Chains A and B, each alone.
Chain A
């Protein structure tokens, strides 16, 4: 039975996988892909889990695939980077049960530490096929087909949705789920699945890696043939000698732009890699130029140039290598401005809007009001100031400690970088205390390795583990320290003190709502030689509140205006959104509408003005 629902692109992708009979889904949370995993939950016989990192998720899914069941690892682009090593092996071995890798890109870095184009990694580097959807509906259809093609070609197939596909909502048709999933079975095939430098007698003694590479190369003509016939590539007729090419979301934006243009230009919609060479050759007949719109790098543009060179086609190729902006997310304005630049006589009719002459303050995110991170960050701020310390940061809610007003963390790179970077700073001989601040989800992702290294090599780094027992930033996904699985089953949470003991690292467990205790622990850590761990342990305030659990006893917080001298310590070193500075009075005020009564600020104020 078919049913129409208004749903998110991520939901559409999840549904597509379930309709295709996926059996194992695993991922690590990351915007914009997170909801795909969540939305797969609840179907009998389908195992869905949050793995502690993307590589674990991908390897786990591959194991399932080798037993002939369908599996789907889910990640954002940073995760795809993280799994590259495994990707560069599984591309050579191939798979058995359909294996569809979801690699969601975030053009413009809307919710990321960087922006990048994983098509390059998956297609150019690993030589694997990709679907690049232009809408939630197409993403759903593509996922279903990807499972079939993955089995047909014995290769991992990748779906690469961008944020505007993942987090768009549209009307999605839900179809029935398969009644029976095929049973798993395993037969060894060591010539394929033992990736090792073994001499292959039947190939004249060549080593296995080379032979598997050859196998992958020999798959390419089949992939090209499949994509040539794919329903996700098509041409639309138009006037003139300049054609537009839209890849994935690029196509959608061109269609939007057409409503403002007085002329319909020839348009080629592309959704696959490899590209459909014949369709492209047919499309460019009689054209002088093509303008390519793709997210994010000039990747298809490069492939066009290669095809045109090989086919001796004299058509100019314009795109993100100079003609279209080379960074950031595409939008309607970029399409219109670029098309106008290419087609001078084109008329664009956009609505005129009045100018606006008023200052609009920027709103940066911060920790929630009541968040326990604010306590440990304040204690760390004081310690760092006193000892001229340096803080290396990591990914997670605590990263907002690097923004104003605190400006505490000096570096933030990728998952787990804080401890090794802080270690390197120590080893540089900089001769200042160096701290690393890392959340627990990031710690289990791979941050633990940095700590182990610091322990083994006796590096004098001070690691603060913000243990809020959940992956809060992306919406409270469980991790190895939570004590519960995604499906809600109880499990043993990792015991950090025992972990530290086994590494031989001195550790102190503190309550972040007790700033004094945090400061004392930090002070003691600074004084000792060798690696130290401070476990700032308290469940996430927001999640606890939603569950009706208390992490502190809320109380009314009052400001004594007589005592407040406007020193701004509570703002600059603490930064709670409920506290603001009143310029006229030269004093702070606490907004009772925003305050949740955690009373951390009482300890922050040195004049006893807050009680």
Chain B
């Protein structure tokens, strides 16, 4: 078996936490894991992407190549599009319905595509997609920074490969003391977002 996961978003959306939970889950299952991250731009509103490669056998490149990802998790519309070519069209994507315009969008010098146009392009590329209000849910729960754990909850719902209880345990173990309870709540709410 293999499970290649791409997580994309904008700096500060909690990509790295999500990628650590997924990686540790795979490691605990005695699988091989290799990953790569773009960091540096992370704190300054740049595009961020994490690659996580899980397999029974040897894994070589830490980067997932074109059409190979089984799962694309995106925290933002355009950041999903940016990496969608990595996704196997038979795979699945999970998108947080959140728009973060770029600097040039703000200046009115570049067009941010219409949401419907983005979703249409994604559907045409890969029919198996889930779009959820993770940031809105996180905000309702009191902290938009919980978007990542809400996404992880939804992920467990759509991918039977990932285990609910195990993820809960890992989120708890990786969260700072003062966020433990809230993060678990966010995870549970994320799970409920998909029927």
At the interface, yes or no: B103 with Cβ under 8 Å from chain A? yes
For the complex formed, measure the closest distance between the CB of A78 and the CB atoms of chain B, giving whole angstroms: 14
Tell me whether A253 and B67 are in contact (CB under 8 A): no
**In the complex, which residues of chain B have a beta carbon less than 8 angstroms from the beta carbon of A81?**
none
* Given A171-B27, A358-B113, A368-B43, residue A571 in contact with residue B102 (CB < 8 A): no
The contact of B46 among A351, A363, A369, by CB within 8 Å, is: A363
At the interface, yes or no: B160 with Cβ under 8 Å from chain A? no
Tell me whether B66 and A256 are in contact (CB under 8 A): no
* Given A361-B112, A362-B104, A368-B44, residue A168 in contact with residue B62 (CB < 8 A): yes
| Cα(A169)–Cα(B33), bound, Å | 8
At the interface, yes or no: A404 with Cβ under 8 Å from chain B? yes
The contact of B44 among A4, A168, A256, A400, by CB within 8 Å, is: A400
Tell me whether A581 and B106 are in contact (CB under 8 A): yes
At the interface, yes or no: A164 with Cβ under 8 Å from chain B? yes
**In the complex, which residues of chain B have a beta carbon less than 8 angstroms from the beta carbon of A553?**
none
A329 nearest CB neighbor, chain B only: B63
At the interface, yes or no: A6 with Cβ under 8 Å from chain B? yes
The contact of A167 among B36, B88, B108, B110, by CB within 8 Å, is: B36
| Cα(A31)–Cα(B121), bound, Å | 35
At the interface, yes or no: B192 with Cβ under 8 Å from chain A? no
**In the complex, which residues of chain B have a beta carbon less than 8 angstroms from the beta carbon of A171?**
27, 32-33
| Cα(A164)–Cα(B23), bound, Å | 17
* Given A171-B27, A255-B60, A568-B107, residue A359 in contact with residue B66 (CB < 8 A): no
The contact of B124 among A350, A351, A354, A581, by CB within 8 Å, is: A354
At the interface, yes or no: B128 with Cβ under 8 Å from chain A? no
| Cα(A351)–Cα(B88), bound, Å | 8
A-B contact count (CB 8 A): 161
Binds B, one of A429-437, A502-510, A527-535, A572-580: A572-580
At the interface, yes or no: A202 with Cβ under 8 Å from chain B? no
Tell me whether B35 and A170 are in contact (CB under 8 A): yes
Tell me whether B111 and A361 are in contact (CB under 8 A): yes
Q: With a 10 A CB-CB cut-off, give which of B20, B47, B106, B107 has the most chain A CB atoms.
A: B106
| Cα(A171)–Cα(B59), bound, Å | 11
* Given A351-B66, A357-B121, A593-B144, residue A365 in contact with residue B41 (CB < 8 A): yes
Tell me whether B66 and A170 are in contact (CB under 8 A): no
Majority DSSP secondary structure for residues of B touching A: mixed
| Cα(A97)–Cα(B51), bound, Å | 39
* Given A168-B35, A256-B65, residue A364 in contact with residue B102 (CB < 8 A): yes
| Cα(A361)–Cα(B27), bound, Å | 36
Tell me whether A365 and B46 are in contact (CB under 8 A): yes
| Cα(A351)–Cα(B125), bound, Å | 13
At the interface, yes or no: A196 with Cβ under 8 Å from chain B? no
Interface string of A328-355 (1 = CB under 8 A from B): 0001110000000000000000111110
User: Which bucket holds chain B's interface residue count?
Assistant: 35 or more
For the complex formed, measure the closest distance between the CB of B158 and the CB atoms of chain A, giving whole angstroms: 21
Interface string of B44-76 (1 = CB under 8 A from A): 111100000000000011110111100000000
Tell me whether B110 and A362 are in contact (CB under 8 A): yes
Chain A residues 229 to 267 lying within 8 A of chain B, measured CB to CB, are 252-253, 255-256, 259
Q: With a 10 A CB-CB cut-off, give which of A333, A367, A572, A593 has the most chain B CB atoms.
A: A593
Tell me whether A350 and B66 are in contact (CB under 8 A): yes
At the interface, yes or no: A124 with Cβ under 8 Å from chain B? no
**In the complex, which residues of chain B have a beta carbon less than 8 angstroms from the beta carbon of A473?**
40
Tell me whether B35 and A571 are in contact (CB under 8 A): no
| Cα(A331)–Cα(B89), bound, Å | 21
At the interface, yes or no: B95 with Cβ under 8 Å from chain A? no
For the complex formed, measure the closest distance between the CB of A320 and the CB atoms of chain B, giving whole angstroms: 19
Tell me whether A581 and B85 are in contact (CB under 8 A): no
For the complex formed, measure the closest distance between the CB of A293 and the CB atoms of chain B, giving whole angstroms: 12
At the interface, yes or no: A360 with Cβ under 8 Å from chain B? yes
Tell me whether A167 and B121 are in contact (CB under 8 A): no
Tell me whether B37 and A167 are in contact (CB under 8 A): yes
At the interface, yes or no: B84 with Cβ under 8 Å from chain A? yes
* Given A167-B39, A256-B61, A577-B103, residue A366 in contact with residue B44 (CB < 8 A): yes
For the complex formed, measure the closest distance between the CB of A586 and the CB atoms of chain B, giving whole angstroms: 10
| Cα(A356)–Cα(B80), bound, Å | 12
Interface string of A147-178 (1 = CB under 8 A from B): 00000000000000000100111110000000
Tell me whether A353 and B89 are in contact (CB under 8 A): yes
Tell me whether A253 and B61 are in contact (CB under 8 A): yes
| Cα(A110)–Cα(B61), bound, Å | 17
At the interface, yes or no: B134 with Cβ under 8 Å from chain A? no
Chain B residues 109 to 131 lying within 8 A of chain A, measured CB to CB, are 109-113, 117-118, 121, 124-125
* Given A363-B47, A568-B107, residue A350 in contact with residue B37 (CB < 8 A): no
| A–B pairs, 12, beta carbons within 8 Å | A253-B60, A255-B60, A332-B61, A354-B89, A356-B84, A358-B118, A363-B78, A363-B102, A364-B102, A365-B41, A365-B45, A368-B44
New contact pairs (5) apart from A164-B63, A353-B67, A364-B104, CB-CB < 8 Å: A351-B88, A360-B78, A368-B44, A397-B44, A580-B106
The chain B residues found within 8 Å of chain A, CB to CB, are 10-11, 20, 23-24, 27, 32-41, 43-47, 60-63, 65-68, 78-79, 81-82, 84-85, 88-89, 100-113, 117-118, 121, 124-125, 139, 144
- Closest 10 A/B residue pairs (Cβ): A351-B67, A168-B62, A365-B46, A256-B61, A580-B106, A255-B60, A169-B35, A111-B40, A365-B44, A581-B108
